[in-house]
Amino acid sequence: SAVISQKPSRDICQRGTSLTIQCQVDSQVTMMFWYRQQPGQSLTLIATANQGSEATYESGFVIDKFPISRPNLTFSTLTVSNMSPEDSSIYLCSVEEVPTSAYNEQFFGPGTRLTVL
Amino acid sequence: GNSVTQMEGPVTLSEEAFLTINCTYTATGYPSLFWYVQYPGEGLQLLLKATKADDKGSNKGFEATYRKETTSFHLEKGSVQVSDSAVYFCAPPMGNTNAGKSTFGDGTTLTVKP
């Protein structure tokens, strides 16, 4: 299993500023995923981050708002840009079990709780 | 593509009560299915999984059977505890969903009262 850490664990930010969230995995993984979990709701996939290529964004999410970096196989960052109160959410990083497995279990980081004032 | 539909609405039970949280799936073939749990203030973690039709996953007293005849993967526990209070998510595997999108269930919040 993979162990994932995220920084910061929580933050309170002002409208119009940006926050970069870091995700560190204890093993090399091909794909990393960024989710948003708004209060009382399920997870929504923001984008898939592959090392060495541009992130793939889901419908409703754009690179200008959520730029992602993936400099190596164990690390990724998600930036929430020009924040508004609607961006208040928990942001979760996850990785998939080794692609050769048939099970495709996901491992999640503890999340970053963001509050935008 | 594959997706799951999870029962909506919070569930409140007394300790030692029986729990069922419904989940049905729409799939091409028989992909693995998962239940994840999110305890208060924490990230998601895998609770149990079933990798093929008619398989049963179990962990911490929770069980779910992958039933192809009813396309269901309901989560059950015979006697819940206060410590089971959490949000439970049903999910298909990441790699087999529409356009790579992981379609988690909506999540069911379980509150167990002493």
Kindly list the residues of chain B whose beta carbon comes within 8 Å of any beta carbon in chain A. 31-32, 34, 36, 42-46, 49, 51, 89, 91, 93-96, 100-102, 104-107
**How close A107 comes to chain B (CA, Å)?**
7
Q: What is the DSSP string of B10-34?
A: -EEEETT--EEE-EEEE-SS---EE
**Residue B57 above 90 pLDDT?**
yes
Q: What is the pLDDT of residue B95?
A: 55
Q: Among candidates A66, A114, A43, which has minimal Cα distance to B34?
A: A43
Q: What is the pLDDT of residue B64?
A: 96
Kindly list the residues of chain A whose beta carbon comes within 8 Å of any beta carbon in chain B. 4, 33, 41-43, 45, 48, 56, 58, 92, 94, 96, 99, 102-111
What is the rounded average pLDDT for all residues in chain A?
90
Chain A residue nearest residue B42, CA to CA: A110
Pairwise pLDDT comparison (B91 vs A101), residue with the higher score? B91
Cis peptide before B31 (omega within 30 of 0): no
Give the residue ranges of DSSP H helices in chain B: none
Q: What is the pLDDT of residue B99?
A: 43
Which range has the worst mean pLDDT, A38-47, A77-86, A105-114, B63-72? Answer: A38-47
Of the partner residues B36, B89, B93, the one whose CB lies closest to the CB of residue A103: B93
Q: Among candidates A43, A79, A73, which has minimal Cα distance to B101?
A: A43
pLDDT cut 90: percent of chain B above it: 53
Of the partner residues A45, A96, A111, the one whose CB lies closest to the CB of residue B95: A96
**Residue A99 above 60 pLDDT?**
no
**Residue B100 above 60 pLDDT?**
no
Close Cβ partners of B47 (under 8 Å, ≥ 6 residues apart)? B34, B35, B36, B37, B59, B60, B62, B75, B88
Mean pLDDT of A86-108: 80
Q: Among candidates A88, A74, A76, which has minimal Cα distance to A36?
A: A88
Under the banding of pLDDT at 50, 70 and 90, the label for residue A77 is very high
Q: What is the pLDDT of residue B1?
A: 60
Pairwise pLDDT comparison (B43 vs B10), residue with the higher score? B10
Q: What is the DSSP string of A74-107?
A: TEEEEEE-S--GGG-EEEEEEEES-TTSSS--EE
Q: What is the pLDDT of residue A40?
A: 77
Phi and psi at residue B84, in whole multiples of 5°? -85, -5
Mean pLDDT of A25-36: 90
**Residue A5 above 90 pLDDT?**
yes
Rounded Cα distance, A52 and B75, in Å:
39
What is the rounded average pLDDT for all residues in chain B?
86
**Residue B97 above 50 pLDDT?**
no
**Residue A38 above 80 pLDDT?**
yes
